[in-house]
Amino acid sequence: MTKAATQRIAFALLRLSAAVIVASVFLLLGYLVWNGTPALSLSFLLESPREGMTAGGVFPAIVGTFYLTLLTLLFALPLGVGAAIYLSEYADPRRSKTLYMIRTATVVLAGIPSIVYGLLGLGLFVLFLRLGFSILSSALALSFLTLPVIISASEEALRTVPPSYREGAFALGATKWQVIRDAVLPFAAPGILTACILGLARAAGETAPILLTGAAYYLPELPNSIFDQFMALPFHIFTLSTQSVNPRLTRPIQFGSVLVLLLLVLSLNLVAIVIRSYYRQKYRWVT
């Protein structure tokens, strides 16, 4: 075979793999939009499920997912960013064994299947700490799940802070903590924020951890406190499609719910992208 022919075949294969990816995304999205859009309406977004979950909307699930995500952020942000700051700023690179252990732990944490986080939540938060089936337990379980994402991406953001900022602040007589607080963190903040949003987007779509720690099949009322059970979109989709009295009948609202969840997660990602490109533009002088 000639070299030119080999090259043509190689390119064709590469194009094919790219095309398969793009096509599957469009196929998936198209299928969902096609089937889900008819169910979407303002009342679908703002009403509770009715008639044994065969009609009505997804409002409580949206609210539940919102509360859950917010509370997860509250736990995961300080813990994850704190760990990232420690890793990138304080940990002594000469004691590489400790660093290696922490990094490995983060990677392992990232690789753990989400159902295991559910079991951890059930055992540790729900039963042992007696937090019960609640938003709190679920949010804690989800925080553990998002921590690796937040830690590694925040650490990455901290590392991209030009050393000249640190030096500049040190040279003005700043203590190490002041350097971190006043020179490093403001610069890394957009990156950290992006990391958190991406982590949350993942958490918002998780089903297994909340299934075991506090998500409810159906609740007549919205949760009043963090100790209440809650409805959430991913779990709602799960119940609609597998536990429903009449899965065939509920098909439109299944697709509707999936579409809502997808839009929610995609818009979180979109926010992250916008923040990132905005600050990239703003700091282009120095980077």
Partner 1 sequence: MKRSKIETRGLSLWFGQKQVLDNVDLNILENSITAIMGPSGCGKSTLIRVFNRMNDIIPDCNVTGSVFLDGEDVYSPSVDVVALRMRVGMVFQKPNPFPKSIYDNVAFGLRIQKRTSKEETDKVVEESLRGAALWDEVKDRLKDSALELSGGQQQRLCIARALAVKPEVVLMDEPCSALDPSATAKIEALMAELKKNYTVVVVTHNMQQAARVSDYTAFLYLGKVVEYGLTDQIFENPTNKLTENYITGRFG
Binding site for partner 1 (CB under 8 A): 92-94, 162, 164-175, 178, 182-183, 186-187, 282-283, 285-286
C-beta of 42 vs 171, nearer to partner 1: 171
**Closest distance of CB 214 from partner 1, Å:** 41
CB of 287 to partner 1, least distance (A): 10
Q: How far is the CB of 277 from partner 1 (least distance, A)?
A: 16
| Closer residue to partner 1 in complex, CB, 87/210 | 87
- What is the Cα–Cα distance from 261 to 106, expressed in whole angstroms? 28
Nearest distance in Å: CB 160, partner 1: 13
Taking the complex as a whole, the smallest distance from the CB of residue 159 to partner 1 amounts, in Å, to 15
Q: Is 189 or 262 the residue whose CB approaches partner 1 more closely?
A: 189
Cα 99 from Cα 86, distance rounded (Å): 10
Nearer to partner 1, 173 or 220 (CB): 173
Decide whether 87 or 260 has the Cβ nearer to partner 1. 87
- Integer Cα distance of 137 and 68 in angstroms: 10
Q: What minimum distance in Å lies between the beta carbon of 157 and partner 1?
A: 14
Nearer to partner 1, 187 or 255 (CB): 187
DSSP the chain: --HHHHHHHHHHHHHHHHHHHHHHHHHHHHHHHHHHGGG--HHHHHS-EETTTTEE--HHHHHHHHHHHHHHHHHHHHHHHHHHHIIIIIS-TT-HHHHHHHHHHHHHHHHS-HHHHHHHIIIIIIIIS---SSHHHHHHHHHHHHHHHHHHHHHHHHHTS-HHHHHHHHHTT--HHHIIIIIIHHHHHHHHHHHHHHHHHHHHH--HHHHTTTB-S--SS---STTS-B--HHHHHHHHHHT-S-TTTTHHHHHHHHHHHHHHHHHHHHHHHHHHHHHHHHTTTT-
Pairing of β 49-50 and β 55-56: antiparallel
Give least dist CB 93 to partner 1, A. Answer: 6
CB of 212 to partner 1, least distance (A): 44
Compute the distance between CA of residue 66 and CA of residue 19 in angstroms, rounded to an integer: 35
Q: 54 vs 178, which CB is nearer to partner 1?
A: 178
- Looking at the Cβ atoms of 116 and 189, the one nearer to partner 1 is 189
Distance CA 37, CA 35 (A): 6
